Amino acid sequence: MATTVTASPQTQHTGKRLGDYEIVRELGHGGMGQVYLVRNVISDRVEAMKVLLPDLAQQGELAARFMREIKVLASLEHPNIAQLRTAFTAENQLVMIMEYVEGETLSRRLEHGAFSVPDTVNYVAQVLTALSYAHGKGIIHRDIKPANMMLTTQGVVKLMDFGIARSSSDIGMTVTGTTMGSLDYMSPEQVKAERTDARSDLYSVGVSLYEMVTGHRMFSATSSYSVMEAHVKEIPRAPIEVQPGMPKPLSDIIMMAVAKDPAQRFQTADALRNALSQVAGAPMLPPMEARSAPTPMPPAPVAHPTAPTTLPRVAPTPTPVPAPYTTTPPQPARGGRHIGWIVVAAIVVLVAVFGGTQVYRSSHKNAAVETATPTPPASTAPQPPAATTPSEAPAAAAPATPEPQPAPRGHSAGGNAQAEPAPPPGPTPEEIAAQKKLMDDMENEMDHLDSRAAAIESSLDAMEQQMHQSGLGLRGDIVEARSTMRNDLAKAKQALEGADTDRARKYMDQAQHQVSKLEDYLGRR
């Protein structure tokens, strides 16, 4: 026969049954009820049971809240949210049967110190995935904190406890002037008992992020009132000041997430998750090292490939063996790591090879003509002085004979021409022209993109001034899009200056996406 579960000590419940569930042990308890590890006697499946305390069952508001939690969970089915299996009443008690999540809360893990940056981003990204799903269904959690994030043995984070969650269909759920949530993680609007939305959950995520990556609470106040006042009025220390080894972009993301004004925060869980994905693999470096400037590019060895100048020509030299035929490959300029300079250098070398081939052929022809020219008869050559001996005559006559030249490669010492080696392949005039046209087209596209971005900046500045007069600010996702647009445009310009067309195309496409997003936003205003 079923036995009613009461708030008496745990030992009195072990082995007892409630409906088809046998209690194995107590998992935890709170102000509203108790949670047990139970076994379904029919299926043998181990699950969690949450029971509303008997003495609270008669209190209308608490019973109604318990019922709301059941209905909220029944509408959610997501791998990062603990699942509701079923719910029923047994002997005038409300009972929820939940998925049993084996693992430990992130709050418990924080007792051993701060998490690494990759672990922090991984855990919070999973929570944000769950929130994005819940927010899409109009459900606000309102009690986000590490204690409600369960890490399974497989590394999956499950968001727990929707006990005070609010659905968009709930009207008047929160009584005016009533504060709900956990004080250390409450948003300013929760503290002031104002209406909350998805951005309130994101504030609590930001506070949790702060604690995970620094190992410290965002506010170290000693009383409930001082904590609440800090959430409303006090600007927290930047996380990087507490944990100097963390990446600065992560610190900036956290500070944006915990902005006092909801309009200045990230506006969606997806926006915050996308921002975090940019620092998922960031190394734990000192702030200045993490922000070091890129390696400066070396001086350009030739004119800019897009400038209206002709490509450099290799002037003929009296040396028959041109430098391009050496077997040692050209070495890159010291510090020239940028792929754009490698492309430019390769083009210059190929053009030099082409010019060198012409020098070689000219020298070859001249040498052949000189070899074919008959030697003047001895009678026409200047005579040595009479006083010279026969042994001295050849030396004295030497000036009349052309100075022998070193035989070019492909010629024998006697001046007989050998088979001419095939010149190395070089860019055709068509290929050189195509490369130049590509650069010209991309620069024109970049100019057009710059003009659109300038118009957006002007419109956003005007809108921001108007909003500030009313104490408001731009939406967080719009602020983020503008910042991303600026960064992508700067990187695209840098790539074009280095003639790196592939990299330039990548960042121009990314900038184009942000420009279109901002133009759509301004068009809807």
Strand, helix or coil for residue 326: coil
Q: Is the dihedral of CA 215, 81, 63, 135 positive or negative?
A: positive
φ/ψ of 243, rounded to 5, equals: -125, 85
Cα–Cα distance measured from residue 137 to residue 118, given in angstroms and rounded to the nearest whole number: 29
Cα–Cα distance measured from residue 326 to residue 354, given in angstroms and rounded to the nearest whole number: 14
Angle of helix 269-277 relative to helix 198-214, nearest 10 degrees, comes to 30
The candidate with the shortest Cα–Cα distance to 277, out of 158, 80, 125, is 125
CB 474 within 8 A of CB 467: yes
The H-or-E segment that residue 150 falls in is strand 149-152
φ/ψ of 489, rounded to 5, equals: -65, -40
Angle of helix 429-469 relative to helix 476-497, nearest 10 degrees, comes to 150
Q: Which two tokens mark 43?
A: 């299926």
Cα–Cα distance measured from residue 249 to residue 253, given in angstroms and rounded to the nearest whole number: 6
Q: Which two tokens mark 282?
A: 């960031």
Residue 477, C-beta contacts closer than 8 angstroms, at least 6 positions apart = 266, 267, 268, 271
DSSP state of 417: B
Enumerate the active-site residues.
143
Q: What Cα–Cα distance (Å) separates residue 7 from each residue in 66, 183, 298?
A: 17, 26, 76
DSSP state of 379: G
